[in-house]
Structure 1
Amino acid sequence: MIDEKLIIYKTKKIFTPTSSAKFTFVEREGKLNNHFVDALNTPGKQIVLYGHSGCGKTTLLTNKISQTYENSYTTRCMEGMTFESIILDGFDQLSGLYNENSSSKTFKIAPELNISYADIKATIKLGDYTKQKTETTKHILPPQLTPQRLAKFYGASNSCWILEDFHKIKGSDRTKTSQLMKVFMDMSEEYEDLKIIALGAVGTARQVIEYDREMNNRVAEIFIPYMKPDEIERIIDTGEELLNLIFSKEVKSKIIKYSCGLPSICHQLCLNICFNKKIYETVKTKVSINLDDLDEAISKLVEEKSDTLKAEFDKAIKVGNGTKINMPKVILENCLEINKDEFSHSEIFNQINKSQINEANFSKFLTELCSPTRSEILIYDENSNLYRFNNLFLKAYAYLRLKEEIVKNENAELENKNLKEANIIKKLLDIIENDIYNKLEDDEDYFVIEDI
């Protein structure tokens, strides 16, 4: 019998690997959640949320910000984005609020601010028209659009400004953007809820406060760690209930392990399972999810990543013809042999045969492995002065390529290309299946890989 009270949800709204989770939002552990909420409610306190890609920063922010602010607007920072571009984007996003017909349930914008906004908007439009005929590479801000004026526009409308991927802003533009946060701090005397929230990778907090020591006590630096197993399980449990599914205990356990603390991977695996079974919305009769369904889902995930992993690794170890020692390859091999999630400069260097290389040359290549030149296969954390692999799938792939025998003969490689790629995918799955990844300890914020 069909439950008349059954609410139908779209699967893509429940499992959301590439966007913020709404229905499957999981409250993070008390200390983290309280720290963030307290920062949101502290007048003048600016916020930096940072953490590894896929750990749930945007989801946490999206779900908490709506409890405090009437509106929030996001500027998505990109490589090469200038300070002027950021200001213009932040200004332009408010256009829906500052016009003659705009209205709000809880606040009213002063008429003079509406007029001021309209005047600046008209100036920018005229400037853009002129710029198209002369200069297209540099935005020129109208003199009326100062950081202070922009802060007024956000403060008066009870709006929060989010700078996503702050770490992508470089050089002087990053310094200016940090100064912009200080302006918002200072103007909180007039608008107590005025805030900029910077969202970024590990190291973002240091990038924000390095401009001015005074900002140390006025910026909340909040690290978003990997999710703990019970938090990942709550995502599955909620999706299971809303879509009327039954995930077996074994399936849940394996999804938790494969996710490595990253909610984005959990969401992707669950979405793959549903799509593979043609489940696009809440089913009227319960459907069971078994291990075969999960195997198919994770194979699909790794297959989708296979080309990217190969390309990133090949770029990382590429050296010129005739090079006697492939130093990037040697460094990566020794990083794996250290058998730790994070490792220092000296730990890596001491692992290497000193007759192969001098320390200056070693340092040069180690720095390159942390740059886009070599796929950023390693990440350097300036706060801890330690290195780590960019992500666990890439680390596992590096292990395969460096520790397992790969077909070397060009003709044989060409003839067995499909077999070779299928074999790599299988081995990658085997590595995960054989529990190379440790379970997340209850009191730790990271995973380690053992026996590598």
Structure 2
Amino acid sequence: MNIFKRLFSSNTLNEIFTPNTVAKLTYVSRTIIEDDLEKYLSLPGKQIVIYGHSGGGKTTLLRNKLREVEQNFIKTHCESSTSFNDLLLQAFDELNRFYVSEKTTNTEYTISSELKAEFSGISSQLNSSIKESNGEKSVRIIPPQLTPQKLAKFLGEISCVWIIEDFHKVVPEEKKRIADVVKIFIDAANDYAKVKIVCIGAVGTARELIELDNNLNNRVAELFVPLLTDVEIESIVTKGFELLNVNIDKDLKEKIVYYSNNLASLTHQICYDLCFHSNIKRLRFFPKKLNSGSFRVAVNSYVRKNSDTFTKIYDSIVCQKYGWNVLKTFEHLEKESLSFDEIKNNIPTSKRPTDEELINYLEQVGSAEYKEVIRLDRNSRKYSISSPFFRAFLKMKFALEQSEQKEINNKKNKKRHHKFSIDTPHMFEHKFILNDEFLTTYNQVLENIIMNEIKIKRKIIIPKDNKKDEKI
């Protein structure tokens, strides 16, 4: 990195590696998907559904493109308990920065005084609330004037896009209401060219929305965002460490790519943990070297962070007779999906269940009780790990288990060879050295033994001779 950049740059670790927020400094362009997104954003009336696995970079891709084309936007978020009225209120609240604070995202706009007055009137009515019987929770009443049509007008006046994140989480009844609003926004494009809804959700979200209303079939663009490739993940790693003036060896980079499981957010998390535990908090003036020896810290950190969720699922599965083997098969074969026979044949014969038992078990692991961790594709009849985050967890968990087993075996070997004995070696070991000193000592000892034997023989022989003389 240029010395002047190191002198004047103020980039910090949490600005470079951002596991929980939109990546900017380390954003990796995905040309084909971005071109499609820009095309649909510029097409009046075309609503958009962006779908793919969580952590695959959907929000980052959208936010970077909106910033690039200087497009105003508001953002609302869905939970399982979110109703359409909640989304309507969230969206209206988000409009405050445009209508009250008059802060633009990018695109310039002009709001008529009449519309501002109407917005202020609705805002004042929203400040009223009713108390539930417990007296603790307050619920805002939605004024009759605040309709989806009125919201579309408010958004249209400021050339704004409405982003609905995690659309897949809401219940079917509320999804149907969202589908109805999508049609309203299609019609609103006749008066406001840039107004539109962008839904972000998990795999299958686009299909769900279209199935709710067939009239949306040609009016909604379905944009699938796949997980990043190994090359794209490596690019994130390279960019980030260069911005910190940190060098990493090839082995460490390969490990980050492998254990990230092609998830952008997990790549950022691993790199963040590596730097944090190495006390790298901002751009370094002098370069620092990181090697693969520091990688286990990051892995342990991720496993600990997910101990309350993934570890419980993992433990509940492996406590079954062949549960560990089922999970290990996915990790060992390195395939996205497996057939029933592939799973069965990788279970040891001594543990192997019948077909019926294994089918029932896989259905059980695919239930809500196990967070639907194993999913069956009804068309291909193949099984897959539903969450790429859980799959990444499995990679790390098995690697740690293997490492721990190696340490246990090493300790056993050392114990077997008396490596941990509290006795000093010389108590049991004698070194034999053949030299002049040894030979001299040996001859003296040997001479003493011979002389002692001669003396003993003389004492025995002489008395016997004396007794013979007496008899004569």
TM-score by length of 1: 0.76
Q: 1:343 to 1:87 in 2, by over 3 A?
A: farther
Equivalent residue number for residue 270 of structure 1: 271
The question of whether the paired residues in 1 share the 8 Å contact of 2:130 and 2:141 is answered with no
**CA shift for structure 1 position 294:** 2.4
Measured against aligned partners, the alpha-carbon deviations of 1:80-115 in whole angstroms (never above 9, x if no partner) come to 11111111111111112223x636572111111111
Shift of 1:157: 1.2
The answer for the alignment partner of 1:108 in structure 2 is 110
Question: Are 1:12 and 2:14 matched, yes or no?
Answer: yes
Range 107-116 or range 300-309, more displaced: 300-309
TM-score, length-scaled by structure 2: 0.73
The aligned counterpart of 1:188 is 189
Secondary structure of 1:160 counterpart: strand
- 2:20 is matched by which residue type in structure 1? T
- Counterpart of 1:98? 99
The aligned residue for residue 423 of structure 2 is none
Question: 2:125 is aligned with what amino acid?
Answer: T
Matches of 2:332 and 2:234, distance apart in 1: 31
- Measured against aligned partners, the alpha-carbon deviations of 1:116-167 in whole angstroms (never above 9, x if no partner) come to 11111122222x2466888959765321111111111111112211111111
User: Residue in 2 aligned with 1:370?
Assistant: 366
CA distance in 2, matches of 1:207, 1:297: 38
Q: Summarize the Cα distance change of 1:216–1:347 in structure 2 as closer, same or farther, 3 Å threshold.
A: farther
| Gap change, CA 1:125 and 1:385, over 3 Å in 2 | farther
Q: Give the deviation of 1:356 after TM superposition.
A: 6.6
- Report how many aligned residue pairs link the two structures: 398
- Residue 3 of structure 2 aligns to a residue whose secondary structure is coil
Deviations 1:251-271 (A, max 9, x none): 222211222211122111211
Question: Is the CA contact 1:69–1:159 (under 8 Å) kept in the aligned structure 2?
Answer: no
Q: What amino acid maps onto 1:123 in structure 2?
A: Q
Cα distance in 1 between the residues matched to 2:253 and 2:210: 41
Which amino acid letter does the alignment assign opposite residue 188 of structure 2?
M
The equivalent residue for 2:48 is 47
Structure 1 range deviating more: 302-311 or 141-150:
302-311
CA shift in 2, pair 1:309/1:3, >3 Å: same
Q: Structure 1 239/113 Cα, relative in aligned 2: closer, same or farther at 3 Å?
A: same
Which residue number corresponds to residue 438 of structure 1?
none
- 8 Å CA contact retained: 1:51, 1:223: yes
In our comparison, the structure showing a higher alpha carbon Rg is 2
Q: Counterpart in 2 of 1:31?
A: 32
Deviations 1:352-393 (A, max 9, x none): 98967489xx56x65553343222212355786754213356
SS in 1 for 2:68: coil
Q: Which amino acid aligns with 1:9?
A: N
Q: Which amino acid aligns with 1:241?
A: E
**How far apart, CA to CA, are the structure 2 residues paired with 1:297 and 1:133?**
46
Q: Deviations over 1:310-334 (max 9, x none)?
A: 212345688xxxxxxx699599569
The one-letter amino acid paired with 2:122 is I
Are the equivalent residues in 1 in contact too, given 2:261–2:391 (CA < 8 A)?
no
**Comparing 334-343 with 16-25, which one deviates more in the overlay?**
334-343
Distance 1:60 1:399, change over 3 A: closer
Letter in 1 for 2:113: P
Secondary structure in structure 2 of the residue aligned to 1:210: helix
What aligned pairs does 1:214-363 form with structure 2 within 5 A after superposition?
Answer: 214-315=215-316, 329=323, 332=326, 336=330, 340-343=335-338, 357=356, 362=359
1:171 correspondence with 2:172: yes
Q: Are the equivalent residues in 2 in contact too, given 1:338–1:348 (CA < 8 A)? A: no
Structure 2 vs 1, CA of residues 377 and 123 (structure 1 numbering), >3 Å: closer, same or farther? same
Cα deviation code 1:390-425 (max 9, x no counterpart): 335645777999xx9xxxxxxxxxxxxxxxx97477
Letter of the structure 1 residue corresponding to residue 375 of structure 2: I
Q: Structure 2: any 5+ residue segments left out of the alignment? A: 408-472
Cα contact 1:46–1:185 (8 A) shared by 2 = yes
